[in-house]
Structure 1
């Protein structure tokens, strides 16, 4: 019995000695931030005063801070304090986050169109996004958006969105393509939850009204609709991306599932789900290989209002604006980005890309994915003009040239990377 007591006491002494030598965080100090609140940075950081000094935890904090719209770059330093205690410094390089936007373009019928917007991505210094836009594209539209990922705690947040969008949309019937005046007015509320450093969830509800009015003389008696709908939405994201100014590395996956109820048989209840897989890899000092794979399916109703579209601004650069629709989608976007010139805050980046995709026809089968007339392949070249100190200040120009059946070609302009 005495031997057991001695062994236990000796083991306890060894363990106590080991823990006594562990390094402890005396204080976390934040430097370089001006608008971003120090209290907010500390609230979402895992390193706290009195915690064990752990480089893995610090690296996770750094990655989390790099993902904030208000941060262009961040690095850390560790200095001894007293005894086995250390001060940890997070050095912040902030982005400018009050961002106006102006897009000017022409539609297929040569109508002048534009979108003007203003967003603050760091409202109250707490990583809250608030703003909206006004759009004139034949018809007037607007949207208001609020998103606060850490509104209630360092894990729980809220997003509220309202939009009233009116556009001219092509709808594809068997014997013709008809133009509709399409209006979508919606209100959406989402709960945002960060499970841990790499995983997050969004769950919410969207109430919206869809209005389809036929344009021109309706000689074939095409349907006109005004439908009230409820949409239940769920998003799951796995994210291990790392950022170094314009360069990205790592893997990200985002799954989006929606169930939509309807009050009209022409637009019946349906589900839609898709997963975007992103893979980024640094190539040398100035190169970046970027990839996005989208796999999606919806309820396979034979309807001209199928949810997946083939569109310049969504998936295939150079293909045109909403040229087709489907109930399933496979799209791969791959591009090589290379920094051509960099000085101070300015970066000129070139890219070579291939956008390729295929769709399942409404009411069709999985064999549609291999049909030649459903496959779109568009290689191309582009330029990026980047401001390193303004969030998402990337002006892009891409030119896509189709090499598949009935291909087109054209320029695509936008703000931010294409994906």
Structure 2
């Protein structure tokens, strides 16, 4: 009996496989798109005319489309054409993609900074991002960005960035509390972008930049600043490698899945005060839907750099980057462990509008320049900032999420403050 059943099952399996392989795609048709070109969608889609009809490939195509800035939602339909031929329809709900960006940062130390920008995320209907920003953080800064991930093929693209960034930075000499410098970074970056497959992509390139530090004031009564510390100028090259694993799925304001992004850089300099160094960090993201209206979001950053005993350490504690409410660049280190976790809940939804509430905890620790791994457990280096926030979401405009967060520090000498911005914090 078992023998006959095995033969029957094997025959059935062969018939099923043969039937599945006999079904092919007659044509891929695109519906609902207006600005996004149908030719571009077909270019990046794995399903092609004449290929086998494969539901797993179609499902991956839909997820890939929903990751595009120009698409708010996508779904598919399959209709019989003739014989064993089927037409596949990709239905697109487009985002509006000419987007202003606004970020405002305040703290209890009366710090105030803002960044205003304008970006087009679907230039020429080809998913090309172009735009720039103006920033006021005591000093003025600006940048221009071009990113075309599918410029040359459905796998190969290019990114270009020009930036002239000027800020006030605390620099730490001989265990002092800090010296304020006017810091300028003028740079040009070119990256090659390569998408290996559905989950994996790479970026590799070079950044040529000039750093300029100019002494402004001592913040802790320091009287004798060495003459060679009043001004530092260095021309540098930064060689960059990025690897991303992306298994996220989007449904309007909700996200689920896992993503990992590894960033490695080698920076060279001819100035002894600004030595060559290596830096690498990995951001791990985990998102989970909780019920119909909840979303749990997490980001863990693990980072290390060359442990030079230099005041110009690369990892910083900053409102805009990692710890909401802490202030603008309040400390530096040669290593970082930062966890951001938050619960987002839809409080109200009607049509295109969504109101989300947000409860978060931002926590992290840093290794002092020239220090040891024990610095991560030193209470002086640990920051913990719980807080609450609101999100005002437009479901059909890319990244149209206006956020307000208030972070309150509960560790030693902590600050508190509001952080405003466009887009989710992470």
Give TM-score scaled by structure 1 length: 0.93
Question: Alpha-carbon deviation of 1:370?
Answer: 0.8
Query: 255-264 or 107-116, which moves further after superposition?
Result: 107-116
Q: Give the corresponding residue for 2:210.
A: 209
Question: Alpha-carbon deviation of 1:109?
Answer: 7.7
Identify the match of residue 221 of structure 1 among 222, 225, 232. Answer: 225
Kept in 2: contact 1:318–1:378 (CA 8 A): yes
Kept in 1: contact 2:113–2:137 (CA 8 A): yes
Gapped runs of 5+ residues in structure 2?
A: 1-10
Question: Alpha-carbon deviation of 1:19?
Answer: 5.7
Distance 1:250 1:113 in 2: 33
Q: Give the corresponding residue for 2:8.
A: none
Question: Alpha-carbon deviation of 1:176?
Answer: 3.7
Distance 1:309 1:136 in 2: 19
Q: Give the corresponding residue for 1:7.
A: none
Matched, 1:198 2:199: yes
Secondary structure (helix, strand or coil) at the match of 2:322 reads: coil
Secondary structure (helix, strand or coil) at the match of 1:154 reads: coil
Identify the match of residue 369 of structure 2 among 345, 362, 369. Answer: 362
Q: Give the corresponding residue for 1:397.
A: 404
Question: Alpha-carbon deviation of 1:311?
Answer: 1.0
Query: 320-329 or 227-236, which moves further after superposition?
Result: 320-329
The 1:16/1:367 distance shift into structure 2, 3 A limit, reads closer
Question: Alpha-carbon deviation of 1:373?
Answer: 1.3
Q: Give the corresponding residue for 2:131.
A: 131
Distance 2:29 2:42 in 1: 9
Matched, 1:377 2:381: no
Secondary structure (helix, strand or coil) at the match of 1:175 reads: coil
Kept in 2: contact 1:111–1:138 (CA 8 A): no
The 1:108/1:407 distance shift into structure 2, 3 A limit, reads closer
The 1:405/1:16 distance shift into structure 2, 3 A limit, reads closer
Query: 223-232 or 131-140, which moves further after superposition?
Result: 131-140
Question: Alpha-carbon deviation of 1:133?
Answer: 1.5
Question: Alpha-carbon deviation of 1:83?
Answer: 1.1
Distance 2:233 2:384 in 1: 36
Q: Give the corresponding residue for 2:70.
A: 70
Q: Give the corresponding residue for 2:56.
A: 56
Question: Alpha-carbon deviation of 1:308?
Answer: 0.4
User: Within 5 Å, which residues of 2 pair with 1:34-53?
Assistant: 34-53=34-53
Query: Which structure would you say has the larger RCO, counting Cα contacts within 8 Å and 6 or more residues apart?
Result: 2
Distance 1:354 1:136 in 2: 27
Q: Give the corresponding residue for 2:168.
A: 168
The 1:110/1:330 distance shift into structure 2, 3 A limit, reads closer
Identify the match of residue 319 of structure 1 among 323, 326, 335. Answer: 326
Residues 140-179 of structure 1 show CA distances to partners (whole Å, capped at 9, x for unaligned) of 2110000000000000000000000111111122224111
Kept in 2: contact 1:354–1:379 (CA 8 A): yes
Kept in 1: contact 2:108–2:417 (CA 8 A): no
Query: 314-323 or 101-110, which moves further after superposition?
Result: 101-110
Q: Give the corresponding residue for 2:119.
A: 119
The 1:177/1:138 distance shift into structure 2, 3 A limit, reads same
The 1:81/1:96 distance shift into structure 2, 3 A limit, reads same
Question: Alpha-carbon deviation of 1:379?
Answer: 1.1
Residues 88-145 of structure 1 show CA distances to partners (whole Å, capped at 9, x for unaligned) of 0000000000112344556888587543321110000000001112223332211000
Kept in 2: contact 1:179–1:215 (CA 8 A): yes
Q: How many residues align?
A: 407
User: Within 5 Å, which residues of 2 pair with 1:179-190?
Assistant: 179-190=180-191
Question: Alpha-carbon deviation of 1:27?
Answer: 0.5
Question: Alpha-carbon deviation of 1:343?
Answer: 0.7
Secondary structure (helix, strand or coil) at the match of 1:340 reads: strand
The 1:52/1:215 distance shift into structure 2, 3 A limit, reads same
Distance 1:86 1:296 in 2: 50
Kept in 1: contact 2:108–2:415 (CA 8 A): no
Kept in 1: contact 2:149–2:159 (CA 8 A): yes
Question: Alpha-carbon deviation of 1:216?
Answer: 3.9
Gapped runs of 5+ residues in structure 1?
A: 1-10
Give TM-score scaled by structure 2 length: 0.92
Distance 1:237 1:342 in 2: 32
Identify the match of residue 239 of structure 2 among 225, 232, 253. Answer: 232
Distance 1:306 1:327 in 2: 6
Distance 1:255 1:17 in 2: 39
Q: Give the corresponding residue for 1:178.
A: 179
Kept in 1: contact 2:26–2:81 (CA 8 A): yes
Residues 217-247 of structure 1 show CA distances to partners (whole Å, capped at 9, x for unaligned) of 8942241200000000000000000000000
